[in-house]
Every structure is written in structure tokens, then in C-alpha cells.
């Protein structure tokens, strides 16, 4: 068994680390100042400039196929990059990406939606959650009713990331109420000009999702993404695809918090000695490191599972062997990583804040922002409880066996 990264992964990780340190990190103070004034942490133009700079180093479209100008990196390599990005409190992401399910688009739709999204000319959002359907996504009520060659969309979506800025939404709506969401829901590509409106939702962290309102919005049939009735499956594919990404990012956030805690424990003195000489502080640091490395192992295992089974990148050409068994294995590994890393980063940031005492609670340091931000990781893209549901169901029904397969 070899735990070492290959040379290419090390080179990519180190290049990203130096890019983040040199180009992105210097913006952190400004981001914190802006957010405290209620402004978005980073202006879209500044983000674009950074993304273009990264592109000039070859970093563009981490998960995008090469035919669209992307890197199509294996999941392992992408997870290393997400961890690097997590260390910095700047809402930066590499450009050249599109929602994974947009690749179900036909030729016309690819020109109209996929390519401009990859190029950063159009912003998308993915709208599944409704006021009455979050964890229980199959309970969505938004309807799409056939009218001639069009569909009339009626209902509300909520908590939609990027929903207030998006040019178009990928909307999952019920087209066959008798069948319900499973088999009776369809994905639509809906331009904002077609008539939907949005309003932002204030949260305790930097995220500002939006509610989307569809009041008899007319959408032509040619805007159906994938097949009629395939919407729920597409929705699940969107959510599960990158479940190792958020935990990988969480590992980076925890690394930053722990490194701040170690430095402070070595320099802050009380009762004539650095606080790091107290066992209470030492144990917080030790426990944090164990949990951080455990989470990293689970993330790498989830990404490796996706790569090994042919889901890691598009160039691999899809699942190898039994697709259903492969999907189960990937989902299980990703659920373990998501559940554990979400709890881990909350505990590590909390301890780092505690080690900083009163300073940790102030807005002079980024710890309070990290504390507010990481709480979300236990909720979105499947709550802790939903991950536990997946894990226990897989085990109780025998989809997953104990031990190393």
C-alpha cells in the first residue's frame, strides 16, 4: 500500500499553494473588511481577474473536459486543490467550471448554456430545494404543466446558491404529478428573462443563497435538460458528484485554524509561560490534528474511490464494472468523508477560537468568520443526519461490506 502522492499531484498542489499564497491571500483582509460592511467579500471583476491569472498558469476548468479547454483532473488532484483553497478566507474558486449535469445538454443547449458557463460569460444556479422539500427532496411540489409546445412553471425554490446573480437556473419541477418526483420530475434550463425573480437570503455566514419565484413562467420544450422524467436522477447526480469537494475544502479550513492555534499557543504567555505548555491546550491541539488527518484520509479515500471506479473524471469514460455497485461504493465513501469532515472542521475551528481566548472572538482575526462559515458544512449538500441515513442504510441493507474491499 502506497500513501505517497505522485510527482504530478505534488507539483500541481505546490503550484496552487504558491498561487493562493501570492495572489489570493493578500486579499483576505479586504474581504473581511468588506463583509463586515455587508458587501460581498470579493467583486465579480476581481474574481474574474484572479481566475484569468490562474488560467494563464494553466489552471482552468479543474473538472472540465479537455475538449472544452479544461484540465479534467482526477478527483484526487481536485481534492488536493480544494484543500489548498480552503486555507484562505477569500471566496475564490478557479474558473472554467460548469455544473456536472449541464453535460446532458444537447448540441444547441451546449452552445447556449454549457460553453458560456464554462467561459464565465453566463452564471448558472441549480434549483432543487423548496420551502417544503430540503432533505426530503422527493417531496418537491413545483409544477411544470404542458401548454402546446411549452411548459408553464409554477412554484418556489429556496436556498439556491448563486440564485440572485444567475443568468439562468437549472430547475427541477414535477411534470407528472401522478408519478411524483421520482420518474415524474424534469430538469429545465430557464433563462432569467423568461420571468423568474429572486430575493437574497441573509445567513450567519458569507453565503447568500436566494429564493426563486416562478409565477407561470413559460419555458419552451427545447429547454428540457436530459430526458422528460429524468429530473430527479439528475438532481441527485448534481448533489452527489462532488461530495468529496466540500470535505476536501473543510480539511483546508481546519489546517489554517490549527496552524493559527499552534502559533498562538507558542507565543501567547499567561502565568509567565506560553499557553502551549498547559496540557489543556496541548490536548486540544493533539485531538485537532488526529481528527484533521482522519478527515483527510476519508477525503482521499472518497476521491480515490471515484477515480478507481471511473467516476473521477469525464475522460475515464464512466463507471467500470457494475455501475450500480460502483455508485453505491462512491456514495458511501463520500458520505463518510462529508459527515466526518463537517463535524471535524467545526470542532477544530471551535478549539482554535478557544485557544485564542478573547482575540478569537474579535473581528480582528478571521477565526470568527471561519466559525460562522463552517457551520454550513453540516447542513448543505446533505445534512449530517442525511449522511448518517445513507451510511446506515447501505450497511443495514448489505450494499456496503465492512473492511477494505
Ligand X SMILES: Cc1cc2nc3c(=O)[nH]c(=O)nc-3n(C[C@H](O)[C@H](O)[C@H](O)COP(=O)(O)OP(=O)(O)OC[C@H]3O[C@@H](n4cnc5c(N)ncnc54)[C@H](O)[C@@H]3O)c2cc1C
Q: With binding defined as CB under 6 A, does residue 129 bind ligand X?
A: yes
Among 379, 391, 394, 399, binds ligand X (CB under 6 A): 379
Using the minimum distance from each CB to ligand X, give the nearer residue, 41 or 134.
Answer: 134
DSSP letter string, 106-155: -HHHIIIIIHHHHTTSS-EEEE--BTTBSSSGGG---EEEEETTEEEEEE
Q: Catalytic residue among 67, 368, 381, 385, which?
A: 381
Among 59, 104, 113, 126, binds ligand X (CB under 6 A): 126
- How many whole angstroms separate alpha carbon 403 and alpha carbon 300? 17
We find the least distance from the C-beta atom of residue 308 to ligand X, in angstroms, to be: 28
Tell me the HSE value of 153 on the side-chain side, using a 13 A CA sphere.
31
Catalytic-residue membership of 67: no
Instruction: Give the interface segment with ligand X, choosing from 95-103, 159-167, 187-195, 341-349 (CB under 6 A).
Output: 159-167
Instruction: Give the interface segment with ligand X, choosing from 33-41, 153-161, 268-276, 328-336 (CB under 6 A).
Output: 153-161
Among 20, 47, 50, 160, binds ligand X (CB under 6 A): 160
Using the minimum distance from each CB to ligand X, give the nearer residue, 77 or 129.
Answer: 129
**Nearest Cα to Cα of residue 96 among 49, 64, 72, 48:** 64
We find the least distance from the C-beta atom of residue 131 to ligand X, in angstroms, to be: 8
DSSP letter string, 11-39: HHHHHHHHHIIIIIGGGHHHHHHHHHTTS
- Segment holding 264, helix H or strand E: helix 245-267
Within residues 185-224, the interface with ligand X by CB under 6 A covers 203, 207, 209
We find the least distance from the C-beta atom of residue 267 to ligand X, in angstroms, to be: 35
- Segment holding 190, helix H or strand E: strand 185-191
Among 15, 161, 164, 354, binds ligand X (CB under 6 A): 161
- How many whole angstroms separate alpha carbon 110 and alpha carbon 381? 26
Cell of 156: 418556489
# chain residues binding ligand X, by CB under 6 A? 20
- How many whole angstroms separate alpha carbon 245 and alpha carbon 82? 6
Residue ranges in contact with ligand X by CB under 6 A: 126-129, 134-136, 159-161, 203, 207, 209, 376, 379-381, 383, 385-386
Q: Which residues are catalytic?
A: 381
Amino acid at each position: 500500500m502506497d500513501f505517497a502522492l505522485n510527482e504530478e499531484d505534488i507539483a500541481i498542489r505546490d503550484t496552487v499553494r504558491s498561487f493562493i499564497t501570492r495572489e489570493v491571500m493578500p486579499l483576505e483582509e479586504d474581504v473581511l473588511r468588506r463583509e463586515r460592511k455587508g458587501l460581498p467579500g470579493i467583486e465579480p471583476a476581481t474574481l474574474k481577474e484572479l481566475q484569468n491569472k490562474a488560467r494563464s498558469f494553466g489552471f482552468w476548468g479543474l473538472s472540465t473536459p479537455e475538449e472544452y479547454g479544461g484540465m479534467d483532473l482526477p478527483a484526487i488532484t481536485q481534492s488536493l486543490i480544494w484543500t489548498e483553497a480552503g486555507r484562505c478566507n477569500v471566496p475564490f474558486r478557479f474558473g472554467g467550471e460548469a455544473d456536472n449535469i449541464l453535460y446532458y445538454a444537447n448540441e444547441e443547449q451546449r452552445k447556449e448554456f454549457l460553453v458560456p458557463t464554462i467561459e464565465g460569460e453566463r452564471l448558472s444556479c441549480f434549483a432543487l430545494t423548496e420551502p417544503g422539500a430540503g432533505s426530503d427532496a422527493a417531496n418537491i411540489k413545483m409544477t411544470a404543466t404542458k401548454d402546446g409546445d411549452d411548459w408553464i412553471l409554477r412554484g418556489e425554490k429556496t436556498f439556491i446558491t448563486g440564485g440572485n446573480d444567475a443568468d439562468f437556473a437549472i430547475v427541477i419541477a414535477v411534470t407528472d404529478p401522478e408519478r411524483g418526483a421520482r420518474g415524474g420530475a424534469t430538469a429545465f434550463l430557464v433563462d432569467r428573462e423568461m420571468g423568474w425573480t429572486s430575493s437574497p437570503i441573509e445567513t450567519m455566514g458569507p453565503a447568500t443563497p436566494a429564493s426563486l419565484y416562478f409565477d407561470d413562467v413559460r419555458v419552451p420544450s427545447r429547454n428540457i435538460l436530459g430526458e422528460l422524467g429524468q429530473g430527479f436522477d439528475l438532481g441527485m447526480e448534481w448533489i452527489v458528484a462532488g461530495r468529496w469537494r466540500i470535505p476536501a475544502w473543510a480539511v483546508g479550513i481546519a489546517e489554517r485554524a490549527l496552524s493559527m492555534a499552534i502559533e498562538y499557543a507558542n507565543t501567547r504567555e499567561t502565568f509567565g509561560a506560553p499557553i502551549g505548555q498547559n496540557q489543556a491546550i496541548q490536548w486540544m491541539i493533539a485531538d485537532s490534528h488526529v481528527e484533521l488527518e482522519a478527515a483527510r484520509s476519508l477525503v482521499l479515500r472518497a476521491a480515490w474511490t471515484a477515480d478507481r471506479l471511473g467516476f473521477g473524471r469525464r475522460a475515464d469514460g464512466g463507471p467500470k464494472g457494475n455501475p450500480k455497485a460502483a455508485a453505491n461504493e462512491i456514495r458511501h465513501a463520500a458520505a463518510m468523508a462529508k459527515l466526518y469532515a463537517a463535524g471535524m472542521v467545526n470542532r477544530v475551528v471551535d478549539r482554535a477560537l478557544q485557544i485564542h481566548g478573547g482575540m478569537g472572538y474579535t473581528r480582528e482575526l478571521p477565526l470568527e468568520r471561519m466559525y460562522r462559515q463552517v457551520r454550513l458544512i453540516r447542513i448543505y449538500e446533505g445534512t449530517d443526519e442525511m449522511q448518517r441515513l445513507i451510511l446506515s442504510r447501505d450497511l443495514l441493507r448489505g450494499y456496503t461490506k465492512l473492511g477494505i474491499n
